[in-house]
Structure 1
């Protein structure tokens, strides 16, 4: 579980982060880390993490 400013992240959001991170790594290993789909997943994960940090 990720801690942000001493607060726990909602388990639903944590599940989304874990799922997206796993998909990102899997896609990167299969298609390459510069493939457009890998980059798209990375950007989605960035947005999700930024939204959590802004809360």
Structure 2
């Protein structure tokens, strides 16, 4: 099992990335972070567990 952290700006970006990977996955934890360099820019993140293909 592999768990990775992905940072993204919007959910469309996240969905496109996960579809491009073409793996089975489950989002296990998510939240948001703020980039200190860019005021007002809101980055979100999630931890994704890659599941073995059956």
Q: TM-score, normalised by structure 1?
A: 0.31
More helix by share: 1
More strand by share: 2
Q: TM-score, normalised by structure 2?
A: 0.32
